[in-house]
Amino acid sequence: MALSTMLSTMGEGALRTCGIFFLTLLFSLPLGMVVMLLRKSRFKIVQWIMKIYIAVMRGTPLMLQLLVWYFGPYYLFGANIRGYRFTAIIIGFAMNYAAYFAEIYRGGFEAIPVGQYEAAEVLGYNRTQTFFMIILPQVVKTILPSVTNEIITLVKDTSLAFTLAYNEIFSLAKQIAASQTSFTPFVIAGVFYFVANYAVAFVMERIEKAFDYYK
C-alpha cells in the first residue's frame, strides 16, 4: 500500500476518532453535572443510586461497558442492533466519563468555603445568581487541571472503540499493519494521538490562564 493511500485511509479513521472524542465531551460534561447534583440530593435513595452508578462506571473496565451497551439490548430484549454500533460507543463513553466528571465536579464544589455562600446571601444574591456568578467560576478554576487529565485520557481511550469493530484510527492501524507487515501505521497512529493530546493540553492551558484572575 502506498504511503499516500495509507495516510488517506487512516485519515478517515482519525475523523471517526475525533467524532467519538467530541461527542463524548458534548454529552459527558453536562451529564456529569447532573449526576453530581443528584449525588448531592437530599433524598437518600437518589444519592445511593448515583453512588452505585459512579461505583460501577469507575469500577469496571470501559471495554466491558462498551460490550454491555452494544450487546445488552439484543441479549435482554432481542432488539435489532444492526446500525447501533456507533450509538452504543457514544453511550458507553459518555456514561463512563460522566461518572468521572461528576466526582471532579463534586470535589470542586466541596472545596468552596461555606462562607462564600453566606457572603453572597448577605449581599442580596439569590441562589441562581450565587451559583453562576460566584461559585461556578471558582469551581471551574479549581477543577480545570483534573478535567484536563480526563480529557487527555479520553483521547487515548477512543482506541477502545475497536472492541466493537469500529474502524477508528487505532483499528485501521492494526488492520493495515497486519495486512502490509509494516510498522508505519502504528507510527502514524502514535503521532496522531500525540498531536491530539498536545492540542488538548495547549487549549486547556490557555483556558486555565484565562481563569488565573489572581495575576
CATH number, residue 184: 1.10.3720.10
- C-alpha pair distances (Å), 187 with each of 14, 162, 174: 14, 18, 11
- C-alpha pair distances (Å), 192 with each of 14, 24, 34, 98, 214: 8, 18, 33, 25, 36
Domain membership of residue 163 (yes or no) is yes
pLDDT value at residue 66: 97
Domain membership of residue 49 (yes or no) is yes
How many folded domains does the chain comprise?
Answer: 1
Range of the domain at 142: 3-210
Domain membership of residue 115 (yes or no) is yes
Note the pLDDT tens digit of each residue in 82-134.
889 999 999 999 999 999 999 999 999 998 888 888 888 888 888 888 888 88
Note the pLDDT tens digit of each residue in 21-70.
999 999 999 999 999 999 999 999 999 999 999 999 999 999 999 999 99
User: What value does the CA radius of gyration of the chain take, rounded to a whole number of Å?
Assistant: 21
Domain membership of residue 215 (yes or no) is no
pLDDT greater at residue 1 or residue 29: 29
Domain membership of residue 53 (yes or no) is yes
pLDDT value at residue 213: 61
Question: Residue 49 and residue 61: Cα distance in Å, rounded?
Answer: 20
pLDDT value at residue 74: 92
Q: Which three cell numbers stand for residue 135?
A: 461559585
Q: Is residue 153 over pLDDT 90?
A: yes
| Cα first-last separation, the chain | 54
Q: Is residue 149 over pLDDT 90?
A: yes
Question: Residue 128 and residue 105: Cα distance in Å, rounded?
Answer: 17
Residues 6+ apart with CB under 8 A from 41: 47, 50
- C-alpha pair distances (Å), 179 with each of 2, 174, 214: 13, 9, 56
- C-alpha pair distances (Å), 56 with each of 32, 39, 94, 103, 168: 15, 14, 14, 13, 26
Say if residues 179 and 6 touch (Cβ distance below 8 Å).
no
Domain membership of residue 122 (yes or no) is yes
Domain membership of residue 164 (yes or no) is yes
pLDDT greater at residue 214 or residue 26: 26
Note the pLDDT tens digit of each residue in 164-201.
989 999 999 999 999 888 899 999 999 999 999 999 99
pLDDT value at residue 82: 86
Domain membership of residue 182 (yes or no) is yes
